[in-house]
Structure 1
Amino acid sequence: MKLADTAHTTRSWRIHEIAGGFDLEDVWALETPGGPDDFDKLVTQFSAGDLAKGTPLPVRALWALRWKLGGLLGLDKPNSGLDTRVESLRDRLPEDLRDTPTGPDEDWMPFTPLYRLDDEFAAEMANRTMHGVLHIAWIEDEPGRYRGQMAVLVKPNGLFGRAYMGFIKPFRYLIIYPALMRMIAREWKTT
């Protein structure tokens, strides 16, 4: 379920310390009911997930089109990513976050993990269109009952990046996010 921005901005997440200048694009409640110790399960599920598999044909088609266009337009060239076009946010991490685990051993491509705490995880990616952060958190809804929350933060790269983010917004809301939310809930129930 889509949440108001305040579901993310009013909490004292550590991501606020390092992602200044990023726009909060989306905040979603995840159907991942659990207990206080289930956050590791959520982070592992995210890292092991494959949106290209297990989603409806329109979602797979959009992802395939995005990667094809990205290749043709050079959106994902190595020189357009982290530590080439933009500095990694790892350089901004406060000292106490620098040595935190960054996640399970699973492949996080195209994201690069930043830090991981007991209730918060962040990973970043960059290409020619934007520098983005995926923020996953573990929220206590009521005593002893928790759920996941996902926020997406972006810093568009110039006018082209802003135009690109505006162009893909309807596809994200109408096709990608609904399928992603269903996949997360389905996988949560089966693990």
Structure 2
Amino acid sequence: MKVSNDVLKTQRWIITDIVHDFDVEDVWALPIDGGADDFGAVIDLMSFIDFPESAPLPVRLLWGIRDLLGRMFGLGRISTSADDAGVWPPVPGTGERSLLGRVPEELRNTATDSRLAGKPFRPLYLTGTEFADEISNRTMYGVMHLAWVDQGGGRYQGQMTVYVKPRGAVGKAYMAFIKPFRYAIIYPALMRYLERSWAVSRVADRSPGA
């Protein structure tokens, strides 16, 4: 479920300093929970999910329309992998082509093993409770931050925050245009997908011989 952006004030995350000039687009409490040592399994799940290919038809149609518009108006394909995208447009308002330079030096090589090949993101860092990756296209520069939030009693819950910097008036208009579709179709489908996938992974982990 979507939660108030104010929830970010209750925790001190490394990402806060890295994206100090970005806007908080969304904060989502994920339908994923577990113990203190389960964050690695969360990262594995997010790396391997087959979304939107396995999503309901309306989501796949929206994804296809976005890629079609990208080809028509030179916005690029939303699903293009980071490796195939070539040189990224810089962070708006800066000359930076990656936020990696903002990451504390001791964390810069911590996400190199994350399995994000073929996806439109580039990893930034990984800790026991945080993971961040970045994405750049013709409409915005964004960061997806995953956190493993302590709920007390030894239980943790996943949290996903999306940070963005739109690219000028076109970027702002595009973000405003797609917002209702994201809230009504994309994110609900993603949450249901994550809930099912996490439940299946937990059952597999408990199976004999797993």
Q: Which bin holds the TM-score, normalised by the shorter protein?
A: over 0.9
Deviation sequence 1:90-142 (CA, Å, 0-9, x none): 01112222232344234261010000000000000011100000000001112
Tell me how far apart the structure 2 counterparts of residues 64 and 123 of structure 1 sit (CA, whole Å). 23
Match of 1:137 in 2: 147
Look up the equivalent residue of 2:143 and give its one-letter code.
V
Q: Does 1:96 align with 2:106?
A: yes
Deviation sequence 1:39-81 (CA, Å, 0-9, x none): 0111111111121222111001001111111122121264554
| TM-score, length basis structure 2 | 0.85
Gaps of 5+ in 2: 77-84, 202-210
Tell me how far apart the structure 2 counterparts of residues 141 and 10 of structure 1 sit (CA, whole Å). 12
Tell me how far apart the structure 2 counterparts of residues 80 and 4 of structure 1 sit (CA, whole Å). 31
**Identical columns (%):** 48
Match of 1:157 in 2: 167
Look up the equivalent residue of 2:15 and give its one-letter code.
I
Match of 2:126 in 1: 116
Match of 2:74 in 1: 74
Look up the equivalent residue of 1:43 and give its one-letter code.
I
Look up the equivalent residue of 2:146 and give its one-letter code.
I
Q: Which moved more, 1:135-144 or 1:100-109?
A: 100-109
1:8: how far off?
Answer: 2.0
Look up the equivalent residue of 1:115 and give its one-letter code.
Y
Structure possessing the higher radius of gyration over alpha carbons: 2
Taking the TM superposition and a 5 Å limit, the aligned residue runs for 1:1-191 are 1-76=1-76, 78=86, 80-81=88-89, 86-107=96-117, 109-191=119-201
Q: Report which structure shows greater RCO (CA 8 Å, sep ≥6).
A: 1
| TM-score, length basis structure 1 | 0.93
8 Å contact from structure 1 (residues 82, 125) kept in 2: no
Tell me how far apart the structure 1 counterparts of residues 87 and 114 of structure 2 sit (CA, whole Å). 27
1:181: how far off?
Answer: 0.5
Look up the equivalent residue of 2:34 and give its one-letter code.
G
Gaps of 5+ in 1: none
Query: In 2 relative to 1, CA 34–144 (structure 1 residues): closer, same or farther, beyond 3 Å?
Result: same
Tell me how far apart the structure 2 counterparts of residues 90 and 115 of structure 1 sit (CA, whole Å). 8
How many residues align? The count is 191
Q: Secondary structure at the match of 2:37?
A: coil
Deviation sequence 1:7-27 (CA, Å, 0-9, x none): 224321100111111100000
